[in-house]
Amino acid sequence: MRRLATLAAATAALAALTLPAHADPGPLGEPGGTLALPLKDAVKVLPAAEETRTGYTRTSFRHWTDADNDGCNTRKEVLLAEAFLAPGQGARCALTGGEWYSPYDDVYVDAAGGLDVDHMVPLAEAWDSGAGAWSAQEREAYANDLGDDRALIAVTARSNRSKADQDPATWLPPAEAYRCAYLADWVAVKVRWQLTVDDAERQALTDRVAGCPNEPVRVTFAR
């Protein structure tokens, strides 16, 4: 049986040492609460549970919505935010031109059609890690999370499809220089949404962040 534990008990002692007094606008482990932990400690506080994909379909996560009704859906919002050379924007948020950088594979892209917007923690992995027990509204919020710029990332379609729904136990970005940032962002998204890890994932994260800078992972809880 999947058990989605809260992070409050597991992180209380560590958080007390790392959170500045002004940085916690809400209760720890509840929406609006914050957490700041060194990367290696953040891995340790991820709640443990076996993963299960029973009942998963991609349509369980309604995504690419237009929450602010400005004509640009979530995918387009990410592309606009991450372009280092802004694209032209036409009717219904049609994008032309522009340039982007795909950190997964260290590739520059000059057309929005060559990019996928990847969920840092894939939808299927989120389902496996606790989202299967969420409400439809929570899953929609997760799939369109513009509240943390680590949640969604524009990358080449090739690199995104290579990753598919794998976690860091079986896939890391081909660009080795980006891997520590990728791992830190993966952990941040899991903490933000209080998603669980299984034994293989935790071991992989522990082993792979060992050689990374132990910089703080700062998160505002989404749920």
Give residue 28's pLDDT.
52
The amino acid sitting at 149 is: D
- The span from the CA of 177 to the CA of 56, in Å, is 33
Helix/strand/coil for 45: helix
Give residue 85's pLDDT.
98
Give residue 29's pLDDT.
73
175 neighbors 106 (Cβ within 8 angstroms): yes
153 neighbors 189 (Cβ within 8 angstroms): no
How many separate helices (H) and strands (E) can be counted in the chain? 8, 8
Give residue 31's pLDDT.
86
The pTM is what?
A: 0.88
- The span from the CA of 155 to the CA of 178, in Å, is 13
Cβ-Cβ contacts under 8 Å for 114 (sequence gap 6 or more): 156, 157
Give residue 8's pLDDT.
41
> Domains of the chain: which residue ranges?
1-50, 56-195
- Element holding 217 (H helix, E strand): strand 216-220
Average pLDDT, 10 consecutive residues per value, the chain (223 residues): 35 37 45 94 96 96 97 98 97 96 98 97 98 98 98 98 98 98 98 97 98 97 93
Structure tokens at 54: 């029973």
